[in-house]
C-alpha cells in the first residue's frame, strides 16, 4: 500500500519503538510485504534464512531482528519482533472499521446499480454504475467495484488474507492492509470468495468471468477477459495474465505467474509458472502434448512388464 504522503523514518521508528540504522530522515512512501515491495516501501524480515533476499529486494526500509549495517541506499529498523512492528503499521494505515447497517453510509454507489435485500456493503466501499449485487453478497470495507459488474448470491469480496506467522504455541495473524479491486464488466458467480491483499490489492481485471465457488487468495492479480470455471482455487500473490482460461477444479500455487492466453484443463494442479499461449493438463500441469506422450507410455507399461517377466 502507498501512503497518502511520505513519512520520515524517524516517525515510523517512534510509532513502532524500533532503533534506526541508517538515515532517520529518509522518507517512507509505502508499506508492503516482501513479494510486492517497491522503491520507497518498508517491509520486514524475521528469519535469518531470508535476510539476504530481503536486503537485496527493492524495499528501501526493512524492519529486522538483527543489527546489521544498512546496505547502500537503504535503512533498517531494529526490533526483536519485526512481525509485530509491521502489523502495527498495517493497522495504523488501514484501521478496522465497523459498519452499523447493511449498506454503509460511507459507501459510494453509482447510478442504476441495484443492491438486493440482505446484501452487505461495508465502509468506504466504492461501486460503479449499472451493477447488480445479489442477495447475501458480502462486500468488506474498502473494496472497489467498477461499472457493469454482476456479483451473484453468497459471494464474499474482501475477506481477510489467509496469512499467519507460526509460533510454538499459536499462530499470529497478519493484518490485511490491502483491498479488492474489481474492474469493469466483471461477472462473479455464486458462492465465490475473493480475499483482500495483505499489503497490495487483489485485482480482478476488466471483462473477467468467474464461475461459482471460485476462491481467489490475497494479492492475486488476474488480467483482463479471463475465464475461471467452478471450484478454481488460486493461492496468494499469483499473477494471471490476460485471456487465460482455467477449467473446473484447477488449483494454482502461490507466488507464480501464468502467461497471457494460457489454458489449463480441468482438475490440473499448477505448481510453477506457465508460459502463455499454450494448453496445460495434469498433476503437476505440463503442456498437453507432453501429457499425451506420458499417458501413452503409461498405457504401455503393463505390456512391457509382462514382456520383462517372460525374459
- Inside any domain, residue 102: no
In the prediction, which pLDDT does 237 show? 95
Domain count, the chain: 2
Q: Do residue 29 and residue 156 come from a single domain?
A: no
User: Residues of the chain with pLDDT > 90: what percent?
Assistant: 88
| Banded model confidence at residue 308, pLDDT cuts 50, 70, 90 | confident
Q: Which of 204-208, 279-283, 304-308 has the lowest mean pLDDT?
A: 304-308
| Banded model confidence at residue 38, pLDDT cuts 50, 70, 90 | very high
Q: How confident is the model over 54-102, as pLDDT tens digits?
A: 999 999 999 999 999 999 999 999 999 999 999 999 999 999 899 989 9
Q: Do residue 71 and residue 212 come from a single domain?
A: no
In the prediction, which pLDDT does 32 show? 92
Q: How confident is the model over 130-166, as pLDDT tens digits?
A: 999 999 999 999 999 999 999 999 999 999 999 999 9
Does position 298 have pLDDT exceeding 90, yes or no? no
Q: Do residue 19 and residue 51 come from a single domain?
A: yes
Question: What is the rounded average pLDDT of the residues 30-35?
Answer: 91
In the prediction, which pLDDT does 309 show? 80
Does position 7 have pLDDT exceeding 90, yes or no? yes
In the prediction, which pLDDT does 187 show? 98
| Residue 218 is among the residues annotated as catalytic for this protein | yes
pTM over 0.85: yes
Q: Which residues in 244-283 are b (16+ Cβ under 10 Å) and which e?
A: bbbbbebbbbeebebbebbbbbeebebeeebeeeeebbbe
- 78 vs 21, 56, 59, 165, CA distance in Å? 7, 17, 15, 19
* Catalytic entry in 134, 175, 215, 218: 218
Q: Do residue 37 and residue 73 come from a single domain?
A: yes
Mean residue pLDDT across the chain = 95
Q: Do residue 78 and residue 160 come from a single domain?
A: no
Q: Do residue 129 and residue 40 come from a single domain?
A: no
Q: Do residue 121 and residue 63 come from a single domain?
A: no
In the prediction, which pLDDT does 184 show? 98
| Banded model confidence at residue 224, pLDDT cuts 50, 70, 90 | very high
In the prediction, which pLDDT does 293 show? 85
Domain that holds residue 63: 2-93
Cell of 284: 503437476
In the prediction, which pLDDT does 311 show? 76
CATH number for the domain that contains residue 23: 3.40.1390.10
Q: Do residue 155 and residue 276 come from a single domain?
A: yes
Q: Do residue 181 and residue 251 come from a single domain?
A: yes
Question: What is the rounded average pLDDT of the residues 13-21?
Answer: 96
How far is 108 from 104, CA to CA, in rounded Å?
Answer: 9
- Inside any domain, residue 259: yes
Q: Do residue 59 and residue 183 come from a single domain?
A: no
Helix axes 82-93, 9-16, angle to 10 degrees: 110
Q: Do residue 262 and residue 184 come from a single domain?
A: yes
Q: Do residue 178 and residue 76 come from a single domain?
A: no
In the prediction, which pLDDT does 123 show? 96
Question: What is the rounded average pLDDT of the residues 36-44?
Answer: 94
| Banded model confidence at residue 12, pLDDT cuts 50, 70, 90 | very high
Amino acid at each position: 500500500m502507498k501512503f497518502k504522503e511520505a513519512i520520515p523514518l524517524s516517525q515510523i521508528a517512534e510509532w513502532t519503538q524500533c532503533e534506526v540504522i541508517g538515515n532517520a530522515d529518509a522518507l517512507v512512501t509505502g508499506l508492503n510485504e516482501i513479494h510486492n515491495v517497491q522503491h520507497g516501501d518498508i517491509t520486514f524480515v524475521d528469519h535469518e534464512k531470508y535476510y539476504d533476499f530481503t536486503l537485496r529486494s527493492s524495499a528501501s526500509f526493512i524492519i529486522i531482528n538483527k543489527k546489521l549495517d544498512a546496505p547502500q541506499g537503504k535503512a533498517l529498523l531494529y526490533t526483536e519482533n519485526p512481525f509485530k512492528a509491521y502489523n502495527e503499521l498495517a493497522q495504523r494505515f488501514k484501521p478496522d472499521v465497523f459498519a452499523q447497517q447493511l449498506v454503509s453510509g460511507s459507501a459510494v454507489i453509482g447510478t442504476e446499480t441495484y443492491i438486493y435485500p440482505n446484501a452487505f456493503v461495508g465502509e468506504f466501499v466504492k461501486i460503479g454504475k449499472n451493477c447488480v449485487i445479489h442477495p447475501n453478497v458480502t462486500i468488506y470495507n474498502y473494496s472497489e467495484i467498477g461499472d457493469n459488474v454482476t456479483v451473484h448470491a453468497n459471494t464474499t469480496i474482501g475477506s481477510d488474507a489467509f496469512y499467519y506467522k507460526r509460533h510454538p504455541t499459536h499462530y499470529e495473524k497478519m493484518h490485511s492492509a490491502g483491498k479488492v479491486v474489481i474492474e469493469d464488466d466483471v461477472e462473479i458467480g455464486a458462492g465465490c470468495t475473493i480475499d483482500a491483499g495483505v499489503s497490495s490489492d487483489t485485482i480482478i481485471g476488466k471483462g473477467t468471468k468467474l464461475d461459482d465457488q471460485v476462491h481467489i487468495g490475497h494479492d492475486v492479480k488476474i488480467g483482463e477477459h479471463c475465464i475461471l470455471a467452478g471450484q478454481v482455487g488460486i493461492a496468494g500473490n499469483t499473477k494471471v495474465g490476460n485471456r487465460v482460461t482455467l477449467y473446473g477444479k484447477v488449483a494454482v500455487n502461490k507466488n507464480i505467474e501464468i502467461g497471457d492466453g494460457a489454458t489449463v484443463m480441468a482438475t490440473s494442479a499448477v505448481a510453477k509458472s506457465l508460459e502463455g499461449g499454450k494448453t496445460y493438463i495434469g498433476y503437476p500441469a505440463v503442456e498437453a502434448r507432453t501429457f499425451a506422450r506420458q499417458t501413452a507410455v503409461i498405457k504401455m507399461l503393463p505390456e512391457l512388464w509382462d514382456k520383462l517377466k517372460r525374459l
